[in-house]
Amino acid sequence: MSRPAPLLFALVTVGALLAGCGSGAADPASPFPERPADIDVSTVDMCRALTAGEQAELGVEPGEVLTGELSNGPTRGCGWSNYDDGYNYGVQTIADGAVVAVGSVDSTVDVLDGYGVVVSTAHGESVPGCSIYVDVSDAQAIRVQAQATKDDATGIPSFETVCGRARSLASKAIRNLGAAAP
């Protein structure tokens, strides 16, 4: 049985991040490449980001549907936890495009599976987390998150390890949500 508290914490964290990201001025040039395809995540079940087989690989049970309110509107998500290896995972909708996360603290712009992304890290001294904002359309983004909730054999996991898990989840989410979108 999964506990929602760490995932709800992540939803609140992203809300705070997004509240401070936008400058209010429109940026005429996108920092992202042209998308392979737009993915409409406005109605798709976010728990479809992982197949049953992929959930088994991660050692998680079916996802827990999450809803909330961010500073820019409602968000829908899905969260999974593996209490044996100490990782939480989440995928959620962001009402604005991923460009709102560009320039946030501890972030970089990159490309994943042809989509522009913003990779953001936080809490490296305690529970390292990696968030990847995927540019799925002009008006929407998905935020993919992996967070280490306990030390591994070498101590606190590195951002490289946590972001590797987030990148893997983001690739799966792009593929699975793109196939599930209307």
Residue 10 has pLDDT above 70, yes or no: no
User: The CATH number of 5-22+30-180 is which of 1.10.760, 3.40.1000, 3.40.50, 1.10.1660?
Assistant: 3.40.1000
The residue extents of the domains of the chain are 5-22+30-180
pLDDT band at 12 (very low <50, low <70, confident <90, very high): very low
How many residues are listed for the chain in this entry? Answer: 182
**Predicted pLDDT at 61:** 92
**3-class DSSP string for 58-99:** HCCCCCEEEEEEECCEEEEEEEEEECCCCEEEEEEEECCCHH
180/85: higher pLDDT: 85
**Predicted pLDDT at 180:** 78
- Chain segment 106-137, per-residue pLDDT in tens: 899 999 999 999 999 987 777 889 999 999 99
**Predicted pLDDT at 14:** 43
- Chain segment 131-161, per-residue pLDDT in tens: 999 999 988 999 999 999 887 767 788 889 9
Rounded to the nearest 10°, the torsion over CA 78, 82, 86, 87 is: -30
Residue 169 has pLDDT above 50, yes or no: yes
- Chain segment 13-28, per-residue pLDDT in tens: 444 344 344 433 344 5
Residues 83 and 4: beta-carbon distance below 8 Å: no
Distance CA 26, CA 124 (A): 32
**Predicted pLDDT at 123:** 77
Tell me if the pTM is above 0.85.
no
